[in-house]
Chains A and B, each alone.
Chain A
């Protein structure tokens, strides 16, 4: 910043301060150009910030955001005094990168870009006011240690060159085309919003839910808060044998005294308190060697308090020998399954305790659902007709072939857990509907220069946070390589947030910053403290915005 600009900016800041103190509307006195916002400063801090402006080429630009958005903000008064928030952005030259989606994929990609490119600015857009995606809404409440990655993400967001813009739905509030005009690189990492369906009769009966919605319901995802699953039945069936299936089974069977102390939502805890579910069957169309869950989650099921594991030893006949030749992860998993089937997973002492258990869970193999049967009055599900299968081939490539036999399993609650599915965000972004992913090579979207993708929307919805980390870093590397080798043409004119914020203002959208999220975070933590939980999640978007923008 040269001496003159510094002087002018400093003088304006002082004027702004003095006018604020005097109670007049400062916006009227603000004669410089409109700008864009990033860091929130109190007015006194602004003065100091200008006074210590570092280096040449850095321009501090000030923008005032009042609580009434719209083109009249210049002359509008704030609805409550003292609501003026001053923002400053240092416009160091450097490419602008936009990431759509603030889950693990988005944050790991951002982390990689910020670490390996010294001037790139990264803006992360998110449709909800709260960040972190499935880490917040997908990880089970009784797995708080998995959520530790939030600390890494918070560090990334604290970087000067990183911004979070919540409450902005890409595809509706701002289109991908508009983003591509404003950013040198746009990265799609919005994950998978939908889930796979069987397409069998009865799938829409009351009492049949997708495991994804059930997880969203107990984790406080705003769109699933009205799910009200019917838990007034003794038997529940989960279709699918992945980690999500085990998660929902575990939540249905864990004693309330444990669940109550987690960050599970209030309404879910209340519903589980009145739940009559005693037995949960987890049904898969292939055999024990093709289960998709991992050993940690299986071990948790065998150790559930007041719950018996019911596995049929016949399912594991002949596997003892095969086990020796398996890879270590599959070997240990199968050994645990066999042991659980033989002894109920318990020592002799525990068998006594387990015989008094009031709940049980079991695995059923080689069964595919053919039809979901209604009660006589058709008001809810009464059972499932399952077709029996046999396996052709072996290991992970084995296929299930129908034998023609069927059986009926009675139940009052069905949870479908056969995988998530991504949806196309916008007509301009290519999408492979069959695979449910954006077609790409190493993260670069096929046929679209400057467009990238990472996470589940790139690879398909499988894997844990760790796999998404690798994926995010890979896409980040592709972006950094393209930025440094100059494949991407630099854009003219106003770039980045500056170009997007006016578009949002016109539609009356107020973006939520990371500081605003911190307010929501501390509000949730405070509410949780009162009831002995790590946090009490806010489940209404309106309420989130009220807290964030207060």
Chain B
């Protein structure tokens, strides 16, 4: 039945994923060192002196919690590179990259939201470009290395959902890693 859901009914697939995600994540989320919470794990608490991920909970724990009330809901749509639109009900304070990870949207995040890579690169819909927080210099430095860069490019790990961003749309680029080391972009064929 799961197979049918996954393959035959794409809309239902997302819906069932959301359902299973909310059941599956209760109580079993451990940090990578095996502690139940990054807050109690000494290795996770090692000071990242120079950069930390957003918020008190790390590694996307917050994004795995469901919204507690309708007031918290912020709707976001992820648009795949083939055009498939995936609407997600996020909440205020969610990190767009970790939220994508929760729902298995193929956004990578090699450096785990610490502004040391450009693999979480997305394009933000024009209507929201002025509502969104401006990119810091460090974010722009990292965006320099992203292939298929556009004016609307942002790093999704630096976007936090708020009520102002209700209905925001982010599009995944063709690739987040360059095929060629020297920056050459292959022509579509």
Binding site for B on A (CB under 8 A): 142-146, 148-149, 151-152, 154-155, 261-262, 294-296, 299, 327-329, 332-333, 396, 459, 462-467, 469-470, 473, 522, 525, 528-529, 534-535
Contact = CB atoms under 8 A, between A and B. Distances in A.
A146 B116 contact: yes
Interface string B169-189: 000000001110111000000
A329 B145 contact: yes
Interface of B: 32, 42-43, 46-51, 59, 110-112, 114-119, 137-138, 140-142, 144-145, 149, 177-179, 181-183
A219 to B, nearest CB: 16
Contacts of B177: 466-467, 469-470, 473
The 8 tightest CB contacts between A and B, nearest first, are A145-B114, A329-B144, A470-B177, A148-B112, A145-B116, A296-B141, A145-B51, A146-B116
Contacts, number: 86
A525 B46 contact: yes
A529 B42 contact: yes
B50 A143 contact: yes
A249 B114 CA distance: 23
A465 B142 contact: no
Contact of A299 (B32, B50, B118, B137): B137
Contact of A525 (B42, B138, B142): B42
A294 B145 contact: yes
Contact of B116 (A148, A522, A525): A148
Contacts of B183: 327
Nearest to A151: B32
B68 to A, nearest CB: 28
A526 B51 CA distance: 22
A128 to B, nearest CB: 21
B179 A149 contact: no
Contact of B144 (A328, A396, A469): A328
Contacts of B149: 328
Given A151-B32, A328-B149, A146 B111 contact: yes
Nearest to A526: B42
Contacts of B51: 144-145
Q: Is the interface of A mostly helix, strand, loop or mixed?
A: helix
B32 A155 contact: yes
A382 to B, nearest CB: 37
20 contacts: A142-B50, A144-B48, A144-B49, A144-B51, A145-B111, A148-B110, A148-B111, A154-B32, A299-B137, A333-B144, A463-B181, A466-B117, A466-B119, A466-B145, A467-B177, A467-B181, A469-B110, A469-B119, A528-B46, A535-B46
B61 to A, nearest CB: 14
Listed residue (B49, B138, B149) with the most chain A CB atoms within 10 angstroms of its CB: B49
A261 B49 contact: yes
Contacts of B141: 294-296, 299, 332
A151 B145 CA distance: 22
B114 A148 contact: yes
A525 B45 CA distance: 11
B17 to A, nearest CB: 18
A469 B119 CA distance: 10
B55 to A, nearest CB: 16
Contacts of B48: 144-145
A470 B156 CA distance: 20
Nearest to B48: A144
Nearest to B176: A466
Contacts of A299: 137-138, 141
Contacts of A535: 46
Given A143-B50, A470-B177, A534-B46, A149 B111 contact: yes
Contacts of B50: 142-145
Contacts of A462: 181
B110 A466 contact: yes
Nearest to A466: B117
A11 B85 CA distance: 56
Contact of B43 (A148, A329, A525): A525
B49 A262 contact: yes
A299 B117 CA distance: 16
A262 B183 CA distance: 33
A296 B138 contact: yes
Nearest to B182: A396
A329 B149 CA distance: 10
Contacts of A529: 42
Contacts of B144: 294-295, 328-329, 332-333
Contacts of A328: 144, 149
B100 to A, nearest CB: 16
B10 to A, nearest CB: 21
B181 to A, nearest CB: 5
A262 B51 CA distance: 13
Listed residue (B111, B115, B138, B179) with the most chain A CB atoms within 10 angstroms of its CB: B111
B112 to A, nearest CB: 4
Contacts of B114: 145, 148
A318 to B, nearest CB: 23
